[in-house]
Amino acid sequence: MTSDFPVLDPSWTAQEEMALLEAVMDCGFGNWQEVANQMRTKTKDDCENHYMKHFINNPLFASTLLSMKQAEEDKNVDTAIPFQASEDPPRPTFDSLLSRDMAGYMPARADFIEEFDNYAEWDLRDIDFVEDDSDVLHALKIAVVDIYHSRLKERQRRKRVIREHGLINLRKFQILERRYSKDVQELYETMRRFVRILGATNHDRFIESHALEFELRREIKRLQEYRKAGIKTFHSKEILQFLTHLLYCSSGVNSKMTDAGEKF
């Protein structure tokens, strides 16, 4: 396909128009000497005059750019976001029953008002390192500080467990548990003690995989029952289910009529 034809100016070909735009993009607007050097077929003044006339001062392009700018501004107009309190994590009101049950959990800080081992800092209130401490007393104070650090690690470990296993939103956690069948719920209760070893993600994968296994077992059992009944296609299975439903409904109607006749 040739580009040796004029577009905006009789003395400029389409190829030169494209070369001018690429040169302005590479060299920057206003650097006309470098633009002319890159084009090689036009002078500095030719490039500047042509660009200003057809791409800057052109009413058609100006209106197009203005409409594009207006459309972009309309798209980015800030709209009010309706407020809706989030329930995950829960945001109970201060000093409410739910807040006390959650040990004063503060969702904005992802922390608790009441920490695990909340009075661990009390053991440090009388610790003061002085130069005339004996070696035994100094070692004793160091041991107290080490014990305090271990208690802090346990506090952080419990927070990590709560966060990884989603125990903040206890209601949501209980709903997720109830969505499983009875077999999976029993397995869930049995495997709960191994969560510390498996970790949250691996534990969830284990439960989900066994839930799928139980579902596949039930489906295989249903298919085996269909095969015993002589059903070999899914279409025949649907017909059998429809007829079974009709039989169940008709038997229910007949039993009601029998009961009514006996009462009469």
207 & 192 share domain: yes
**Position 90 in a domain:** no
Does one domain contain both 103 and 55? no
61 and 23 in a single domain? The answer is: yes
Do the domain assignments include residue 159?
Answer: yes
- Under a CB-based contact definition with an 8 Å cutoff, are residues 36 and 46 in contact? yes
> If DSSP codes are grouped into helix, strand and coil, which group holds residue 112?
strand
Fill in the DSSP letter of residue 93.
P
Tell me: do 156 and 117 sit in the same domain: yes
Q: Which amino acid is at 136?
A: V
pLDDT tens sequence for the chain (264 residues):
567 788 888 888 888 888 998 999 898 888 999 999 988 888 999 999 988 888 888 776 656 556 666 666 666 656 666 766 666 667 777 777 777 777 777 777 778 888 888 888 888 888 888 888 888 988 998 999 999 999 999 999 888 887 777 777 767 767 777 778 888 888 888 887 887 788 778 888 888 898 899 899 998 998 888 888 888 887 887 887 888 888 888 776 455 545 544 443
Segment 63-118, tens digit of pLDDT:
655 666 666 666 665 666 676 666 666 777 777 777 777 777 777 777 888 888 88
Cα dihedral 238, 243, 247, 249 in deg (nearest 10): 60
104 within some domain: yes
- CA 78 vs. chain centroid, Å, equals 24
Q: Is residue 137 part of a domain?
A: yes
Which residues, other chains included, contact 51 with Cβ-Cβ below 8 Å and sequence gap of 6+? 20, 24
Instruction: Report if residue 230 sits inside a domain.
Output: yes
Q: Are 210 and 187 in contact (CB under 8 A)?
A: yes
Is there a domain that residue 154 lies in?
yes
* 103 and 39 belong to one structural domain: no
What is the total count of domains within the chain?
Answer: 3
How far is the first Cα of the chain from the last one, in angstroms, to the nearest whole number? Answer: 96
Q: Are residues 164 and 204 in the same domain?
A: no
Asked, for residue 103, whether it belongs to a domain, the answer is yes
Within 10 angstroms of residue 122's Cβ, the number of other Cβ atoms is 9
> At 23, which CATH number?
1.10.10
What is d(CA 142, CA 13) in angstroms, rounded to the nearest whole number?
A: 85
Domain boundary among 122, 149, 173: 173
Whether 197 and 169 share a structural domain: no
Say whether both 105 and 162 belong to one domain: yes
| Domain's final residue, options 155, 173, 191 | 173
The verdict on 103 and 167 lying in the same domain is yes
Provide the whole-model pTM: 0.44
- 253 is a domain residue: no
The answer to whether the beta carbons of residues 140 and 123 sit under 8 Å apart is no
Parent domain of 212:
180-242
What gap in Å lies between CA 15 and CA 19, rounded to an integer?
A: 6
User: What are the C-alpha distances in Å from 264 to residues 255, 257, 261?
Assistant: 14, 10, 5
Contacts of 116 (CB under 8 A, 6+ apart): 154, 155, 158, 159
